[in-house]
Chains A and B, each alone.
Chain A
Amino acid sequence: MKILVAVKRVVDANVKIRVKADNSGVELTNAKMAINPFCEIAVEEAIRIKEKGQADEVIVVSIGDKACQEQIRTSLALGADRGIHVEAEDGVQPLAVAKILKALIDKEGIGLVLLGKQSIDSDNNQVAQMLAALGNMPQGTFACAVELTDGKVKVTREIDGGEQTVLLSLPAVISSDLRLNEPRYASLPNIMKAKKKPIDTVTPADLGVNTASGLKIIAVEPPPARSAGVKVADVDELISKLKTEAKVI
C-alpha cells in the first residue's frame, strides 16, 4: 500500500509574526519557515505505519514555489521515501489543493491519505474534507489514534466532549490532530541520506487542475493588543465580573 502525505510550508511556529504595514498579509521576508506542525504529525504517522510493515511506500507532496522542496526534504529525512513537488504560485486555495491531491491519488494508486487537520497560517481546515468528497472516500478527521487492521483503518477522532472511533474502508482520508503522536527528530545521518531520495516536479496543469482562485484577501490585521488586567478582592467579585463585564459565564 502507498501512503500519500501532504505537507505545507508555513512560518515556523516559534517565530513571532508581524502583519505587513499595508495590511496585505503577514511579513515573510527573512522569516524562518517550517513544515506545518499538523502536517509533520501526519508524516510521522505515515512513517510509523510503514515501520510496522503495513505500508510499502510513503510519498510526500507539497504544493507551492520551489522553496517548499525544503519541507519535502525534511519529510524525507524523517523517513518518507520520495517526494512530489507540485510547482505553483503560493497561496493555492483548499479546493484546488484537494483537486491536486485527488489527481495524485488516481495517478499513484494511493491506499491512504494522511493530512494535517489545518495549517497554522490560514487555519482553513478544509482540504481533508473536500478531498474525501471529491474522491468519494471515507474520512477520519481530527485523528488522535490510527490503527490499520485487515484492510481497514480504525480512526479515533477528537470531538467536542470526548472521542469517537470510526472504521473506514480503504482508500481513506485521515487528518491528524495534535495528540496523534510526537514527531521524531530526524537524525543527522538521515538528513544526509535524504539528499539522495528523489523529488519529482509536476505542475497543476500536468494534473489537469486550474488553481485560479475566486477568493481575494481584503485585509489582514493583527489581533488587538492585550490590555492590562485588574486585581479582584475575592472569588465572588471575580465571578460577578466574569458574568457582568467579561460576559463569559
Chain B
Amino acid sequence: MIRDTETLTQLIDMVERFVRERLMPAEQDVAEHYRIPEDIVQEMKALGLFGMTIPEAYGGLGLSMEEEIHVAMTLGRTSPAFRSILGTNNGIGSAAIVFDGTEEQKQRFLPKYASGEWVGCFCLTEPDVGSDAGALKATARRDGDHYVLNGTKRFITNGPVADTFNVMARTNPDIKGARGISAFIVEKGTPGITLGPVDRKMGQAGSLTCDVIFEDCRVPAANLIGREGEGFITAMKVLDRGRLHIAGVSVGVSERLIDDALAFAMSRKQFGVAIAEHQLIQAMLADSKTESYAARCMVLETARQRDEGKNVSTESAACKLFATEMVGRVADRAVQIHGGAGYMSEYAVERFYRDVRLFRLYEGTSQIQQLIIARNMIRDAS
C-alpha cells in the first residue's frame, strides 16, 4: 500500500511510460499474432506488474483499491490483452487465496503469483452455467485426504497458460444452490486435467481462453480454500473486487479512444475545415469526454470507499454497469468520428471497438449488474 501521492505518482508515471514506449508500439503485432511477445511478458514480470494486489508480506505491492484503479486506468490505455495476461494474478486468479486461503496456502502460492513465475486462473463458468453460477454442476467428492474433481469449465481466461486453477465445484450434491459449492486450488500437472483448444474470439487477440476439463482429478484436501460450502461466497468476493478493476480498465480504454478520436478529428479535413470544427463531431467528442469523466469519478470514489472498509457491493456493480456500457458508446463514437477509416484495421479504434465488447459480458453481464443493484436496493429498503 502506498498512501502517499508522491510515490503513487511515480508508480503511475512509470506504468504510463511503459505503456507508451513498450506496449502501444506492440499492439498491432499482438493483434496479428494472437500472442504477447515473451520479452514483453518478462519485462512486465521484472517491473512487478504481476504482484500489484498481492500483500507485501507475500512479495507483492499490496496496492489499495484506489491505487490499483489508477494502475488499471493507465494500463487501459493500450490493448486489453496486455492487462489480461497479468490480470488474473492480480485479480480473479489469486484473490480467493488472498481473501480466504490458509497461511500455508498463502506462503505457497502468493509469492509465485507476485513474481509472475506462476499464472493463476479462475474457473467458475461451465457449458450450462454462466450468469446463474450458483447452479454449477462440477463436483468435488471427498475421498480420504483428497477431493476428486469432475466437470468442465468454460471460457477460462489464461487457462491455456495457467499454472494453477482456482476451481469452484459442488461438494454437497444434496444442496443444489450456492451453499453446496466449495473453492479449490488445483496445480497444473495434476492428473485428470485436460485443456480444450484455445478459443477463437471477436477481440482481445492475445488474451487466451479455453475449456478446462477435470476428470477424476485428485486434489489434496489441503487445497480446499476456506471451508466446505463457502466457495461461492469466496467467488462472489473475488468478483466484487474484479468488477471495480474492469470498470477502471474501461475508463482507461475510453480515454485512449477519446485521444485517438480527437487527434483524428483535428487532422481530418472535410468541407474545407478539420472535422473537429463541425458541431456534430464536437457533440460526439463532448459526450464521450463527459461520460468517461463521470465513470472515472465513480470508480475512484467507490475504490476509496472500499479502502475505508465500506461495503460497496452495490456501487461496484453500478461502476461496472456504467463504465463498461460507457466504453461501448465511446468506442462506437470513435469509429463514427473516424468514418470509413474507423472500419479499417489500420486504425486502433477498429480493434478497440471489438475489444471492449467483452467488458459488458464477463465478470457478470450488464443485466446481472442491474439485478445486483436493484436487489440490493430492495433489500436495503425492506
Contact = CB atoms under 8 A, between A and B. Distances in A.
B7 A185 contact: no
A187 B47 contact: yes
Contacts, number: 45
A191 B4 CA distance: 12
A130 B49 CA distance: 43
Interface stretch (A69-77, A80-88, A144-152, A215-223): A69-77
A154 to B, nearest CB: 30
Contacts of B61: 188-189, 192
Q: How large is the interface on A (under 10, 10 to 19, 20 to 34, 35 or more residues)?
A: 10 to 19
Contacts of B6: 69-70, 73
Q: Is the interface of A mostly helix, strand, loop or mixed?
A: helix
A186 interface: yes
Q: How large is the interface on B (under 10, 10 to 19, 20 to 34, 35 or more residues)?
A: 20 to 34
Contacts of A187: 46-48
B7 A192 contact: yes
User: Which 7 pairs between the two chains have the least Cβ-Cβ distance?
Assistant: A188-B48, A187-B48, A189-B48, A187-B47, A191-B10, A191-B11, A186-B14
5 contacts: A14-B20, A70-B9, A185-B18, A187-B48, A191-B14
Interface of A: 14, 34, 69-70, 73-74, 77, 185-189, 191-192, 194-195
B17 interface: yes
Contact of B10 (A14, A77, A189): A77
A188 B47 contact: yes
Contact of A188 (B4, B9, B49): B49
B232 to A, nearest CB: 33
Nearest to A188: B48
Nearest to A77: B10
B210 interface: no
A187 B52 CA distance: 11
Given A74-B10, A191-B10, A191-B14, A185 B47 contact: yes
A146 to B, nearest CB: 24
A191 B52 contact: no
B77 to A, nearest CB: 13
Contact of A70 (B10, B20, B48): B10
Given A70-B9, A188-B51, 16 more contacts: A70-B6, A73-B7, A77-B10, A77-B14, A185-B18, A187-B48, A188-B14, A188-B48, A188-B49, A188-B52, A188-B61, A189-B61, A191-B10, A192-B11, A194-B7, A194-B10
